[in-house]
Amino acid sequence: MANDDGLARLRQLILDRAVSFGDVQLSSGQASRFYIDGKQVTLSAEGALLFAECFLATNPPESYDAVGGPTLGADPMAAAVSMLSQQRGTPKPAFIVRKAAKEHGKMRRIEGPLADGARVVVVEDVITSGKSVLEAIDALEAEKGCRIVKIVCLVDRQQGAEEAFARRGYNFEPLFTAAELGIQR
């Protein structure tokens, strides 16, 4: 990771800004006693920078060509990584995968300067079942012929995503799990 202090600070930001308790329904359709709103961290200047530093510390620039994932969770994360990679002299473009192709303009589902056949790291803020990430991956593979190097998330809720990714042969690296944050389902 970036360094132990940066990782510790990122963990604290998640706990302070993103975690809340109470009954909620998740986008996966599952009911939960807690909610993690990763965008409260990744859309803050400090959180975006800390995520990008952690990402770049564990993903050598020669191992991938671009970074992105399903909109909206991945958008600030991919942009932060792309910007910091430019500052560090190893620029990596960001991309966004829409839920569906636009119905106007160029009618794209995948936005950004992503080359066909690129090796990509897919990012997401919070992952539960992994369904939205797998749908984005399906689009990346089918529409652009991308090779998925790794899936990285800010928080894994530990509710099936790791197993779903393993079944498809994808390498998965959460920065934190719900258990590591001290959250019990």
Say which CATH number the domain at 170 has.
Answer: 3.40.50.2020
Residue 183 lies in a domain: no
Mean local confidence (pLDDT), 115-122:
98
Q: How far is CA 22 from CA 61, 179, 184, in A?
A: 40, 17, 13
Residue 184 lies in a domain: no
Model confidence pLDDT, tens digit, residues 65-112:
999 999 999 999 999 999 999 999 999 999 999 998 877 777 789 999
Supply the pTM of this predicted model: 0.95
Look up the domain containing 133 and give its range.
Answer: 4-177
Q: Quick one: which of 22, 18, 111 has its CA closest to 72? A: 111
Model confidence pLDDT, tens digit, residues 22-40:
999 988 788 899 999 999 9
Q: How far is CA 25 from CA 15, 35, 131, in A?
A: 20, 9, 15
Q: Which of 28-42, 115-129, 147-161 has the lowest mean pLDDT?
A: 28-42
